[in-house]
Structure 1
């Protein structure tokens, strides 16, 4: 339960976003006194004096007790108690839920730490102020406290400004300092801060003039000259002392508590030139409009939008100490639809370190979680290559602390009109900037030696950075060739179409020139990379795509990179600009024979399929796998040594694997389609990609139906049904599972019958029909025993035990689970063993063997934590709290339930979270002796 006691703005309890008024003004005064003195005893006389002063009512002590009784009831749901002590009363609460005490702690920490960390602490402290302290309350004591708090606020604000100035934030501070100085013309400290900011932004004369104005005010109002400190600053500005300039600082992490600081920005372009006006405009938006900025940087493809965004971002990294997020939204990709906002949100959650088990299933809940994580953080979010406003809006943070930069070929009108975006439109480079770009790439001597050829190259490229970069890359790769040769060849090919509003029609001409200059092997690879599935590609996959050995493939890719036709990121993955890839794809279809393209795609599909199969085996070695055909010739699946490498490979290649299945679907390679769905199963479960799991099995079933193989049809139907069940779509789940079971019976497929019965049991159990679940599990067990599969027999025994326990037959349940545990010890499966200990804990608790239940649950939690299964950790902690509570171990029960509650909320399991919140409420009321402990039924 989220609780907040506010002093710095009002005096109220805020619980779960509901506003609970505390009523009468005097009753609010009582709460105000207790909150200010939280965790300290306030005597009855002190309370009477501070609340009523000279206006003590008749029977004042009785009125006070009435108010305290009401307050106890209002505050109890939030875990806040008012305790009676021999000489008074004490409000027991975590100091950090009282904003005044939290403010004091943050300010004290800020003043005791280094400047980099102090900035974040002061910002957190300042954000706690929401208005006038004790609004609407007027007693002499509260008035004195209010005045003291205001003095503390001003002092912390000035300390904050000093720290920010030392960190070089004078430009950002200048507007606020100007206002503050106007409001406080006699405050010499504020005057000194404004003078320093003016001096640092190059307004030395204005700084000196402000000193004279301040001196005049002091003489006229107080009859005194400025203090020595301000006079010394004036003298240092007069002499333009260099030590007044700030020392550059860089903060590495956010304020207290931040564990993951994402650094997703790609490298800044090495040959960026010009655009100084646009860079200055971006900076001015940041400096004078606070840290809120959405810049829809429009312009045609190849005009340099991304280069500008990255260059500006890298020049201002110190402004974003809490990290940078970057995503290519692929709004104009030639081979795929624009990236769904939900996919971008999920990528950002991963970058922010959110555990897969904590990611909610619902896309809107994921967006809400992202906005919660970046709230109050000073982060940069770059949304590159957006197709439209609808793709961008779900990715915008809800607060005003982050800076967002959006690039798109279109003018995003909705962002401008509805979200106050600042729009920048890029034009072509000037001739001087284009010459500077070529000079940086080719060297001053080479450019100066052939001025006419350079002028012709600049004219032909019409100031398009992409075209200039390609030509410069080609010339750089041939340092001995005269630039006149490149100009003549470009003249013969012609790039006049670059003058068109849409350069997509003209850039292929320049690209064709670059393409023809490539060696034959690089030409083939360039075309194949244009049709490869996925947004990027790693060297192992590229090796299978080209059919070349890895070392030779690496050499070919480096040649394309040097020709500026391919980009390599820090992780070693290769990608193409959208326009280049579009041209590469056209080239492949125009110049490469059908059988060459088909064989290359078949090789890369085989690469992804068989590497995924190896990875899946590492993640779950006990999972029975269907038979796979051998990969084709010149396909080189990537060897993966262990489950850690397997999981990392799946993470890196996930989008490519989904695209590979799409490619296989288009080419009607039905076997590969459903097998790719199979290999992704365990990974999707581990990472919580439930919607992706549904999508791949929808394609998998469609492929299986085309194969006319009953066993494959059964497999695809049951996994699709299970995917529907995991998303709570009951009718579709039961329909597909029953259809799969009917087919399995028709074709006498006993293994699939057992598996389908288990999936049906899980589905019915999820929806509360434990008797049907037990019947299906019993069917599965009888089949598994005839098949001689001890691991799945153990799993099914445990599930039978669970459903029997849910139906109240604890003896039978215990027998089943103990038999399962024996099998798991003979045939190790840590996940199955953890599930069995969880079941035994549930059984022991309901049999009133509470200490045994605690032991069993703790074993399960330990195993699940080792496996990283946070989804199951939440459920087991939920169960563990009940035997603790039954034994009167309320602190332990509270601790495990609080952890489970946080996990439920982060995973989007709202019904479980609501139930567990009620259990915690009951437990806290029980501690006051008013109600019984939560019943055993709440554990179900």
Structure 2
């Protein structure tokens, strides 16, 4: 005897699948099929007792009522003897338990049994050898097919986006899809978009009901499963409606319950067995989307408001404490608002901490938003601030924006200047990464003023340094130097020697662009040493890159490659995304200067891919320019021009003047190679103007060299000589030794 057991939540289509399979396979059972509804989950009736079920089966086998034995054991014996040797299918639908099913199992190996249940019936699998099949929500294409079968493909095809949204709002649950389809079929004037809007309006479960047929309602189907729960699992199911994120872990459920993890684990397993949650990964549980909405309904209806508030407070406190403990493993910014309390020792090392952060990312973002929505203002912005360093280093930019904006709203409503400044601090850095320069500058200035009002001098110094970095990105070295000087002056008044390393890193970056190359190497080396003394490898990556860039400009390519390789190694070891693109960019530039164009291309492509993936526009523009130069040097002129043009568009749209000047210079070289000397000179003059206006002495040096070659081609030896003299002067003043291959041939 073969037993197939179909398990799944209410409305997932277990009965429909069983009946469909029985119909498709009726030729395999020439002696017939039997079906009985065991009423395991029914609003109006108790579950069918085994004696009643056997009686129905005997009646289906043609046994007159008067010949059915009164004793249950005799009934079962008679039932099994009649099936002995027959090839029959028995469908036992809507079972409540394995005990309800066992008396109904034929003894004959020639029979096949299909059991459906909302419970997992593990005893039937373990003891009776049932083959389980757990049904979940449909795939999007399958959900579309269910709607189309009832409504018609033409009607859905006329509103494809609305149809996709409707299947999403139905959670791809077959019962919900059939109810929605019935509403469309019964009302030809109802648009698919109209129905989707009704479901999207807040009460999806109310909208998924048919007039005059309450038994078909999705809410009613869920209620049957809910009422069948024991009190403990029922309470946890209600509390899950308060959880802001899509999943819960055992410890998070324990926080909601205010219980031990052992108790929470047992209750989650009970809900899993009842298919009111599913476990996508060990230790993680989630209800179906519509079940989550139903759980929230039950929570509002059955849990007093103070108890709901206390449960949510416990969960948010759990996330805040664990986020603080996890980000302590290398994801805590040097400048941040002090925690309300010390973090606990909750993780066995950095790998475990990072794994927790990544797996909980959606839950943490949702927790910040829920805290802000429910007027838990300080919790909202504190949790957002805890996550800032991790979201920055891992380049989870959309989540970073969501949490920072939610935290900012909360801090504003609470009239908390320190909280508002902290959130603007994060947003300033975020929008700098995405190339939204004007917005970034506004948040920088607001954060600086907010920290001053709150009396947080470390924050004020941090924003002065960050403003220097922003103007460095823009290519305005003079302003960058001014903000840098103010920041370092303030830092020296504070008892925070560990902050000097990042200041020296920023100073080295500015020195590189100014052409103070030896000073840049010295400052970056001091910053690296400071990071190593603090045993903070993450603090060495940026100065390694800056030192490598300075060494490359000095012609020390082997040393530049060593710095770049070490920066890449640390990025990989610490899973840092925020410096990964620039580290590979350094390696691409050094290999290009050494004539290793294949390696250079690999690193430049990697740098661009990371920049695009992380949404860092400055790195994107730099990578595009480097790729353009590699293509130019290897004779792929059309590709070179395309990359330089992309770089020009990207930098121009973001106000990034140094990358813009580099892109103009690249196009000048392409035009020079095509003998379009006037067009080349126009691009070079653009680059020269930007370089002079913003103190970009290395760009200016390269541009003078390019213009000298161009004017020689144009027959203007005096102008060529002046540019040559200016280039030589800058070489002498800076020690700049660019690779010979970078220049256009005379």
Determine if the TM-score, normalized by the shorter chain, exceeds 0.5.
yes
1:773 match: secondary structure: helix
1:774 match: secondary structure: helix
2:634 match: secondary structure: helix
Whether contact under 8 Å (1:901, 1:916) holds in the other structure is: no
Aligned to 1:922: 632
Q: How does 1:847-926 map to 2 (within 5 A)?
A: 847-869=554-576, 872-890=579-597, 892-901=599-608, 903-904=610-611, 910-925=620-635
Q: What's the CA shift for 1:803?
A: 0.5
1:728 match: secondary structure: coil
Whether contact under 8 Å (2:247, 2:284) holds in the other structure is: yes
Q: How does 1:13-162 map to 2 (within 5 A)?
A: none
Aligned to 1:719: 426
Aligned to 1:604: 315
Whole-angstrom distance in 1 between the partners of 2:327 and 2:456:
24
Q: 1:707 to 1:597 in 2, by over 3 A?
A: same
Aligned to 1:829: 536
- Tell me the alpha carbon deviations over residues 18-61 of structure 1, each in whole angstroms, 9 at most, x when there is no partner: xxxxxxxxxxxxxxxxxxxxxxxxxxxxxxxxxxxxxxxxxxxx
Whole-angstrom distance in 1 between the partners of 2:292 and 2:599:
59
Q: How does 1:446-845 map to 2 (within 5 A)?
A: 500=211, 506-509=217-220, 511-620=222-331, 623=334, 625-629=336-340, 639-845=346-552
- CA RMSD, 1 decimal: 4.2
Whole-angstrom distance in 1 between the partners of 2:435 and 2:537:
27
Q: What's the CA shift for 1:676?
A: 1.6
Q: 1:417 to 1:711 in 2, by over 3 A?
A: closer
Whole-angstrom distance in 1 between the partners of 2:595 and 2:218:
75
Whether contact under 8 Å (1:704, 1:713) holds in the other structure is: yes
Whole-angstrom distance in 1 between the partners of 2:213 and 2:330:
48
Q: 1:572 to 1:785 in 2, by over 3 A?
A: same
Whole-angstrom distance in 2 between the partners of 1:279 and 1:843:
74
1:708 match: secondary structure: coil
- Tell me the alpha carbon deviations over residues 604-630 of structure 1, each in whole angstroms, 9 at most, x when there is no partner: 111112111111112425645534446
Q: How does 1:380-459 map to 2 (within 5 A)?
A: 406=144, 416-417=157-158
1:618 match: secondary structure: coil
Aligned to 2:205: none
Q: What's the CA shift for 1:717?
A: 2.1
2:489 match: secondary structure: helix
Whether contact under 8 Å (1:619, 1:646) holds in the other structure is: no
Q: What's the CA shift for 1:772?
A: 1.7
Whole-angstrom distance in 2 between the partners of 1:659 and 1:698:
12
Q: What's the CA shift for 1:712?
A: 2.2
2:348 match: secondary structure: coil
Whether contact under 8 Å (1:611, 1:638) holds in the other structure is: no
2:18 match: secondary structure: coil
Whole-angstrom distance in 2 between the partners of 1:462 and 1:891:
56
Aligned to 1:136: none
Whole-angstrom distance in 2 between the partners of 1:602 and 1:873:
38
2:19 match: secondary structure: coil
Q: What's the CA shift for 1:541?
A: 0.6
Whole-angstrom distance in 2 between the partners of 1:831 and 1:462:
50
Whether contact under 8 Å (2:369, 2:403) holds in the other structure is: no
Q: What's the CA shift for 1:745?
A: 3.0
2:276 match: secondary structure: coil
Q: What's the CA shift for 1:677?
A: 0.8
Q: 1:798 to 1:415 in 2, by over 3 A?
A: farther
Whether contact under 8 Å (2:394, 2:575) holds in the other structure is: no
2:360 match: secondary structure: helix
- Tell me the alpha carbon deviations over residues 374-419 of structure 1, each in whole angstroms, 9 at most, x when there is no partner: xxxxxxxx99679xxxxx8xxxxxxxxxx88657879686863587
Q: What's the CA shift for 1:517?
A: 4.4
1:787 match: secondary structure: coil
Whether contact under 8 Å (2:421, 2:450) holds in the other structure is: yes
Whole-angstrom distance in 2 between the partners of 1:644 and 1:513:
43
- Tell me the alpha carbon deviations over residues 508-537 of structure 1, each in whole angstroms, 9 at most, x when there is no partner: 445445444433333322211122212221
TM-score (norm 2): 0.57
Whole-angstrom distance in 1 between the partners of 2:176 and 2:626:
66
Q: Which runs of 5+ in 2 are unaligned?
A: 1-11, 26-134, 168-174, 180-207, 638-671, 674-705, 707-738
Q: Which runs of 5+ in 1 are unaligned?
A: 1-267, 281-381, 387-391, 393-402, 427-460, 466-496
Q: How does 1:174-185 map to 2 (within 5 A)?
A: none
Q: 1:873 to 1:691 in 2, by over 3 A?
A: closer
Whether contact under 8 Å (2:431, 2:439) holds in the other structure is: yes
1:574 match: secondary structure: strand
Q: What's the CA shift for 1:777?
A: 2.4
1:568 match: secondary structure: strand
Whole-angstrom distance in 1 between the partners of 2:494 and 2:24:
70
Whether contact under 8 Å (1:462, 1:499) holds in the other structure is: no
Whether contact under 8 Å (2:392, 2:578) holds in the other structure is: no
2:482 match: secondary structure: helix
Aligned to 2:101: none
Q: What's the CA shift for 1:570?
A: 3.7
Whether contact under 8 Å (2:521, 2:547) holds in the other structure is: yes
Whole-angstrom distance in 2 between the partners of 1:876 and 1:502:
64
Q: How does 1:256-271 map to 2 (within 5 A)?
A: none
1:548 match: secondary structure: coil
Whole-angstrom distance in 1 between the partners of 2:251 and 2:325:
14
1:580 match: secondary structure: helix
Whole-angstrom distance in 1 between the partners of 2:142 and 2:209:
30
Aligned to 1:325: none
Identify which of 1, 15, 19 aligns with 1:274.
19
- Tell me the alpha carbon deviations over residues 327-350 of structure 1, each in whole angstroms, 9 at most, x when there is no partner: xxxxxxxxxxxxxxxxxxxxxxxx
Q: What's the CA shift for 1:896?
A: 4.0
Whole-angstrom distance in 2 between the partners of 1:644 and 1:585:
34
Q: 1:674 to 1:409 in 2, by over 3 A?
A: farther
Whole-angstrom distance in 2 between the partners of 1:502 and 1:730:
58
Whole-angstrom distance in 1 between the partners of 2:392 and 2:418:
23
Q: What's the CA shift for 1:764?
A: 1.8
Whether contact under 8 Å (1:617, 1:623) holds in the other structure is: no
Q: What's the CA shift for 1:597?
A: 0.9
